[in-house]
Amino acid sequence: MQGIGQSGLLIVAALTAPAGLAEEWLALPDIPPVPADNPQTNAKIELGKQLFFDPRFSSTGTVSCNSCHNLMAGGEDSRTTSMGVHGLAGPRNAPTVWNSAFHSVQFWDGRAGSLEEQAKGPVIAQVEMGMRSLDEAIARVRQIPGYVEQFRNVFGGENAVTVDNAAKAVAAFERTLVTPGSAYDRFAKGDESALNAQQQRGLKRFNELGCTGCHRPPAFSGPWLAGGFFVTFPFHDSPHVTQYKLRDDSGREAVTKDPADRHKYRVPTLRNVALGAPYFHNGAVPTLSEAVQVMAASQLGIKLNEADTADIVAFLGALTGPFPAMSLPRLPATPGVSIVPAN
C-alpha cells in the first residue's frame, strides 16, 4: 500500500524504503517477535497477566509489575524514578512496558537479553519488589493453589512452578502489550487524514534531522539486534548535561565494565512517549517538549526552534495507543490465610 501524504512524503506499508526517506515508514506489526522456546498460548498469557498484577511477590505485598509499569496508563509510573517497597527509589525512570516486546534487549542498559530475563530482575531488586531471592518469590507462588494448577496446565509436570516458567508466562503476557493502530500507523498504511498538517510537518522534521537514525520505525526504538543497539547519551555537550545531571549515571558501563560503554543506553521506543513523562534514564526532564530539545542538543548538536519542537511533539503524540481492552484479572486466593509476612 502506498500513498503520498499532504507533506509530500511517500508513505508505504511495504518493507522497501520509499524514495527520499532515510527510513522505512512501517506500521507496527500486530504481533512482536516471539522466541521459539516460549510460544504464545492463551492459558500462558492469562497466567502471566495474573502474575504481572499480583503484589504478593514483593517483600511487603505492595508492589507488582503493574505498580511501576501501569497498564491503565502509559505502562510506567509518572515518576522521576520508580518507588518500590518501603518507599525506596532507585536511580532509573521506569521504561514503558507497552511495546517492550519490540526491543531486542531490556532495561535502560540492555542488561537483559529477553523479556524472560528481564522479568526476574525487579523481583529481587531491593528498591523494587525487594524479595531476598527468586527462590523465595517462587515459594510464595507455590503456596497459591490457583497458580499451581495453572502452571501445571500451561507447562506440564508436577514441578511446573519454577522461576523460569513464571518468567516465561510474564513475558508471554508482555508480548500482548502492543499498540498497533496509532494515528501514525494508520498514516503509514495510507490514510493521509490520520495525521494533521502539524503532525506531518513533525514527521518530516523528525526524519530530516536524523532522529530516525536511532528511533527507527515501526517501533521507533533501535533496530532489532541480538546484542542490543546502544547509543551514547548525551553525546554532545550542552547546558542540559549539568542541568539534568545526564552524565551522573555510567549507563551500560556498569554492566560490561568496559569504559567504551560509558553513558551508553539502549534506544527506547518512542511509542506512547507522550504518556511517559518525566523523561530519560533518570527522569530528570519534566516535559516532552523539553525532552525533544534535549535530544536535539545532546545527540544532534543543534538548538531546535520552538516551531520545530512543537511539530515534533505533535508527531510523537501520533505514536500514542490505541490500548487494547483488557479485563481486570482475578488473583488466585489462599483462603483463610495471607502469604504476605506480618509487619
Positions marked catalytic: 128
- The reply to whether 181 sits near a copy of itself by the rule CB under 8 A is no
Q: For residue 133, give every residue at least 6 positions away whose Cβ sits within 8 Å of its Cβ, in sequence order, or none.
A: 124
Does residue 214 touch a copy of itself according to CB under 8 A?
Answer: no
Which amino acid type is present at position 110? G
Q: How far is the CB of 108 from a copy of itself (least distance, A)?
A: 17
The reply on whether position 85 binds a copy of itself by CB under 8 A is yes
Of 24-32, 114-122, 248-256, 327-335, which part binds a copy of itself (CB under 8 A)? 327-335
Q: What 3-state DSSP class applies to 2?
A: strand
Contact between 78 and a copy of itself by CB under 8 A: the answer reads: yes
CB atoms within 10 A of CB 243: 12
Q: Does 133 bind a copy of itself (CB under 8 A)?
A: no
Which CB atom, from 18 or from 181, has the smaller least distance to a copy of itself?
Answer: 181
User: Which range binds a copy of itself by CB under 8 A, 4-12, 23-31, 108-116, 274-282?
Assistant: 274-282
Stretch that binds a copy of itself, among 17-25, 76-84, 103-111, 207-215 (CB under 8 A): 76-84
- Report the interhelical angle of 288-300 vs 306-317 (nearest 10°): 110
Minimum CB distance to a copy of itself smaller for 20 or for 87: 87
Pick the stretch among 82-90, 190-198, 231-239, 246-254 that binds a copy of itself (CB under 8 A): 82-90
Residue 67 within binding range of a copy of itself, rule CB under 8 A = yes
By CB under 8 A, is residue 150 in contact with a copy of itself? no
Rounded to 10 degrees, the C-alpha dihedral 209/215/217/220 comes to: -130
Distances (CA, A) of 293 to 297, 303, 305: 6, 7, 8
Handedness of CA 305, 306, 312, 313 (dihedral sign): positive
Helix (H) / strand (E) element for 11: namely strand 10-12
**Residue 2: HSE in the Cβ half-sphere, 13 Å Cα cutoff:** 10
Q: Does residue 77 bind a copy of itself (CB under 8 A)?
A: yes
Q: Helices (DSSP H) in 125-162: which residue ranges?
A: 134-142, 145-155
* SS3 label, residue 285: strand
Contacts with a copy of itself by CB under 8 A lie at 53-56, 60-62, 67, 70-74, 77-81, 83, 85-89, 274-275, 277-278, 283-284, 286-289, 313, 317, 320, 323, 325-331, 333-340, 342-343
